Structure 1
């Protein structure tokens, strides 16, 4: 004898999973362009109603936290696949170009997150990428490829500012997404190289 409701429960769960994924994907796309996007705009982009969205995420802040968590995980996964061997300048160039693509993809999510997440959580979101940059800067300083006459934390802050600034400039149409990775790489390397 089959259990009643099993097929319906599985269908309902599958629909819920699809809705959650659609909402997160839509929130990622929408917030990347407009950090002030409303729940209504996100629900419309996900092709679900507000009630459905709130059935899965109790607030806009909860949804943004989920978007940020996924963005961090995807960023870490993508950057972990990069080759950091060889000349530190070349390795940093590869890291900067990859970081640009990820930053541009997630765009203004950083702005949306900063509006709802505590500063400590925002800092932790940058810890993984910053640690990779720090290791390359330290290696480049040791080999004489990068300047060591300024604090390394300043160099990391400068790199973050250039990457985020390029993303904002691309969203405003001042530069194209195609040329931005090269501009980011060249600007950073010019600023930190010996």
Structure 2
């Protein structure tokens, strides 16, 4: 009989294979059905269902993993350093790179997950962005007439809208950061002089 540690290690490997498979299928424009994910991952359908009982649970897990990776990237933006508006510009640039890289996952998440699931998936990323907003408000660089949580949610909304516009062909990928930075700045800035 296999040890508990061996079973746990096997289960963890299976989860990673399933998530990798779902992400790869979504990136190729596939609907990532349970059968397709199982085939891509080299596991059985019951194994997929054992870890992810619904397609929504699988998509949420894929989105959460992509966002966790984005958190690592955002840490490189050094949001605690320099003027808040400059940190915001770095955040937008790095955030767009991650969203663009994981556009298929973002699209599947937006299409298939209810708002509560989307909020859960974004939880890890909300903390560093919320900290930047709080710092900007304390230092007088960001507006204080709107709550921190609203500004953070608005940041996500603008980023995802840019992704939608790029996918629809209404915005060129190479222009997204140049459009996003002044848009986000204008929303966050304490006064019009703070926007470019």
Fold in common (TM above 0.5): yes
Match of 1:4 in 2: none
Structure 1 unmatched runs, 5+: 1-12
Contact 2:64 2:122 (C-alpha < 8 Å) held by counterparts: no
| Larger of the two Rg values belongs to structure | 1
Picking from 80, 93, 116, the partner of 2:75 is 80
Separation in 1, partners of 2:140, 2:63: 36
Show the 5 A alignment for 1:29-48.
29-32=24-27, 34=29, 36-39=31-34, 46=40
Structure 2: 5+ residue stretches without partners: 1-9, 192-196
**Alpha-carbon RMSD:** 3.2
> For 1:16-68, what per-residue CA distance to the aligned partner results, in whole angstroms no more than 9, with x for missing partners?
x6x97665334214325758443455567x496xxx45264226455434423
> 8 Å contact 2:136–2:142 — kept in the other structure?
yes
145, 152, 177: which is aligned to 1:149?
Answer: 145
Q: How many residues align?
A: 175
Structure 2: how far apart are the matches of 1:108 and 1:149? 35
Relative contact order higher in (CA < 8 Å, ≥ 6 apart): 1
Would you say the 8 A contact 1:141–1:147 is kept in 2? yes
Give the TM-score normalised by the residue count of structure 2: 0.70
Cα separation, partners in 2 of 1:68 and 1:80, compared to 1, 3 Å:
same
The 10-residue stretch of structure 1 (79-88 or 117-126) with the greater mean CA deviation from structure 2? 117-126
Matched, 1:186 2:182: yes
